[in-house]
Amino acid sequence: MTNFFKAIAAFATAVAAIWGLVNATGILNKPPELGPTSPDPGRADEVVVANVYNLPDDRGLAYLADQGFTNVRVIHVCSNSVSGGNIREVLLDDHSSLADETVFVGPLGSKPVKIPLSTSLLVKVSNGKGCP
């Protein structure tokens, strides 16, 4: 049986050598040196918009700025859902019609979609008046 186990060990060493785990003499290879990893440059500037719904506008805008968004426009609108001065919605600022708006933050929270930090955002803040 000793020869059987030696044959198995030799076979295992050969397979491990093929996979690059050990060299031909059975000595473990050093793992490759891993340098510092950097994020994928195509995605480094993408984040999910923070849920700023119903926050005071200064605090919510500070969160967006802290995330890295710089193209942010604010408009004041009527609202039946939040108090005056609080954020009602965060949208894609592409001047879409009401039916085509892309909402990133609303009453249900943030959409779990990463967007580039260069995206133009439109923040709707309640003016304190209810909508007709």
57-96: pLDDT as tens digits: 999 999 999 999 999 999 999 999 999 999 999 999 987 7
Which pLDDT does position 3 carry in this prediction? 73
Alpha-carbon distance of 119 to 16, in angstroms, equals 49
Instruction: Give the tokens for residue 66.
Output: 């802290």
Q: Provide the whole-model pTM.
A: 0.65
Give mean pLDDT, residues 16-33. 51
Hey, where are the domains in the chain? 1-31, 46-126
Q: Over the chain, what is the mean pLDDT?
A: 80
Q: How confident is the model at residue 42 (pLDDT cuts 50, 70, 90)?
A: very low
7 vs 87, which has greater pLDDT? 87
Residue 20 exposure: Cα atoms within 13 Å on the Cβ side? 3
Instruction: Give the tokens for residue 2.
Output: 């000793």
Architecture of domain 46-126: 2-Layer Sandwich (3.30)
Residue (of 74, 80, 77) closest to 58 by Cα position:
74
Amino acid at 1: M
